[in-house]
Structure 1
Amino acid sequence: MATQLSDSYIIDRPTRDDVTYKTEDDLNYIYPTLLKELIKETELNSFDTYPRGFYRNVSLDDNEINLMKKLIEDLCGTNYEDASTLGIHNIPNRENLENNLKKIDSLLGGGSSYSINRYKNMFGQVPTSYEERIDEYKLMKANGLDESFARYFCDYAGITIFILIYFIPLGVFLKDSNKSISSSIFTKSSSTRKILFTRLWAMAIVTISSILLIFTCYELILVNLYGIELLNPVTAYGLIILWLFPNIVLGISLGSLITILINNILAGVFCFLISFMYIITSSPNISGAYGFSPIIRHNIVGMEKYFLDNFNILLENRIMWFIISLLIALIASIALDKKRVGRL
């Protein structure tokens, strides 16, 4: 995580020579760019795809190429030979575009740039103006430069937590197999729910404290670079807790449940593989993906206005996954209770 964060905490005032992009959901821009790339790949018969997150170059046979050309004709409303000239000006409506893109992506085996989940991010990248970059920088300064870095920090910390957190409850609950520990836990008068939730909160608090301690190292660097007057530590630390604590509780709850059920080190390996596959196959939009995913992505130091405009979505996401985490923990406590009385 430290290697990925690198020197991203250096937040300089934009210059006119800087080149940054934003995603524009405008078919007048997306469609011509998409169609040009689709025709180019069709002519070369070489399509870059990422099915299940892994790279694959697809070449179509003659029948499939003819079908692809027919799909392009349906998309642009002209014959294939005129697609790059006349067809590029026939902007389709959203429904027609996405219906055709589904067929194109299916023909390529999925994971292509033309999939419903990827085409906006792939073909909607528009350069930002100098004035937009300056306004964004002023907004970042007004809200605290450390808050902007905190979002970027949370992006990588969230991925690290999602992949590795399961090994913490794995270690804790596997120790219950020790006779000296099990004889105490399985006979003491404390309720199972109390035992499990006490462990859960202990593991969660230690984990979030460790994360905050790591961020403090970067916060001290930011204080040295910009002075405390351009920072907002209270908001930055609060954002990290809001962003990451539901992920921590989710991972510990899920890891606890699976470990209780399987009672084997393979529980951690299983959770690791599932989490890893989920991350590499999830949305390609890593610069501001909130939605309903348990992993919130904001892989950029900036996009302040986007963050503020979508903060309610982020808040709803965190509340939802925190509640789901507690429900999983409740199920884990039921499983542990059955284990204590010898029914599991």
Structure 2
Amino acid sequence: MAALRVGIVGAGGVAQVIHLPVLSMLNHLYTTTIICDLSRKHCALKFNIKQTTTSPTDVFASPDVDVVFVLTSDEFHEPYSIAALEAGKHVMLEKPMTLSIPSAGRIIAAEQKSGKKVFVGYMRRYATSFTQTFLREVATIDRILYARSRDFSGPNDKFVKESGTFQVVNTDFPQGAAEEREKRLNVLFQEAFLGRSITDEQKKYCRFLGSLGSHDISLMREVLGFPESISGVSVNEPFYSAILNFKNKSGEPFSCTYESGIDSVPDFDAHFAVYGEKKRVMIKYDSPFVKGLPIKVTVEQLNEAGEMETKEMLGSYEDAYTTELRELYECLVNGKEIKTSTQDALQDLKIFDMMYRRWITQQHVHKMEAIFDQLDTQKGAH
């Protein structure tokens, strides 16, 4: 079994705490040959990586790289993925694929032209408790009445500091790096919000959906399909919510409540639940920054004796990132179809767009209501 040669672009938290340790443990499948980042020396020493650089081009051009792991911040996902594809490399792209539909289209076009593959890193969808246990139990619900997606992730910094991975955070960024980052982000924001004047509130919403929200929307879509519509959204940073409308197997409408946010309470409350007439199924994720925490599925149902029955199941203790990278190997080496492909990830961006449009419509309605209220007040005064 030949190991895939990996080049890393971006060695921040997700690389140091997650991907590099997992790649090291899966050394029969992967060999990390080169890393690009300011913290490259720390990572090279810690994970025995022979070559280091601060130029992504060195990674793309390396003859010792089969697949590039793009682990940078969102605004660099598009240019680095395209550059890697043009250099003839496969790409493991951390979620989100990117922040706008046009940007996704450019990545997809580059992928199709190159003949190489892009695997988008939605690790929750590869957890055995999800693929084996949760989906099996949900399939037995004949009539879905309601669903709920919650992701209150708590303070990630606390979980990382106590994970035993000893992350190094660099702040000495090269001159002009901040300006380039803002320039790329502004292009994505303009594309995401259809060229409108962009507010800080819109920027935060876009970044949030791309980060924490992308996990939940992607998982929701695999379980329930693509939503018919969105009834409403609530944008109150740092918490966001929405009501999405679906149809069950019988064509009957039901809704799914999406709620997510980040506070300082050290509790990782991330779960997805599906409610049927006689059965409820929930999958609960724990922090991925502490390795080995179990992902459990809980079923509550009315049994044949008319009793309330509860059972808890655990598909595997293997963490979702390890399972995901095993799947990546199968896809790149043995030709298995990529579930979290670029075309798949594009569907999440379309849902984000539906949420933006609903939010903007709500804002217009609220403005009109305020004007009518003011006019009514003026009439009453006369």
Query: Same fold judged by TM-score > 0.5?
Result: no
TM-score, structure 1 length as denominator?
0.27
Q: Which has the higher strand share?
A: 2
Report which of the two has the higher share of helix.
Answer: 1
TM-score (structure 2 length as normaliser): 0.25
Of structures 1 and 2, the one scoring higher in RCO (CA 8 A, sep 6+) is: 1
